[in-house]
Amino acid sequence: MSNVVYLSMGSNLGDREEQLRRAISRLAAHGRVLSVSSFYESEPVEVSDQPWFVNCAVAFETSEPAEQLMSAMLGIERQMGRERIQKKGPRTVDIDVLLYGDLVVNTVELRVPHPAMAQRRFVLEPLAEIAADVRHPVAKKTVRELLEELPAGQSVRRLKPKGE
């Protein structure tokens, strides 16, 4: 049985947009990409002394169980050179499982829905572009509603696709 999963991806090292494109292409080994948001540039949150991020959201269909999928996403991060030296620090690529169908998981290894997604504009803006009406299974609100409830701040801007 396949499930629709929503991922958040970010990069702030090297060619950030290319890093995201490479990560998205690696998803094919684990399911089927349904849609990808525009790329958005955002200021770092919590650890501000680092380069700005490029972020996107991905709708993805997979039959892999949530824990196995998370393990696969960590594997993609490692393959692409991610080193976990500093919490919330610079990274070649970061892949978070935001939503996994209506599933709610709360283990040491995995928390779904992602516990901080409702407070992060850099997550909700791209996600709203591809899944505005998807409902958060705990908050019982749509992605659009969560985005509209965010306080001002957190600079996020949509990047124009190359050639535009």
User: What is the DSSP code (8-state) at residue 118?
Assistant: G
Q: Which of 82, 102, 144, 158 is catalytic?
A: 82
Angstrom distance (rounded) from CA 120 to CA 146: 10
Give me 120's structure tokens: 């992060």
Q: Which residues contact 121 (CB under 8 A, 6 or more apart)?
A: 42, 147, 150, 153, 154, 156
Q: Which of 16, 26, 94, 121 is catalytic?
A: 94
Q: Which of 16, 26, 96, 121 is catalytic?
A: 96
Task: Note if 49 is an active site residue.
Answer: no
Task: Note if 91 is an active site residue.
Answer: yes
Residues in the chain: 164
Task: Note if 157 is an active site residue.
Answer: no
Task: Note if 82 is an active site residue.
Answer: yes
Q: Which of 91, 102, 121, 133 is catalytic?
A: 91
Cis peptide before 113 (omega within 30 of 0): yes
**Which residues are marked as active site?**
82, 91, 94, 96
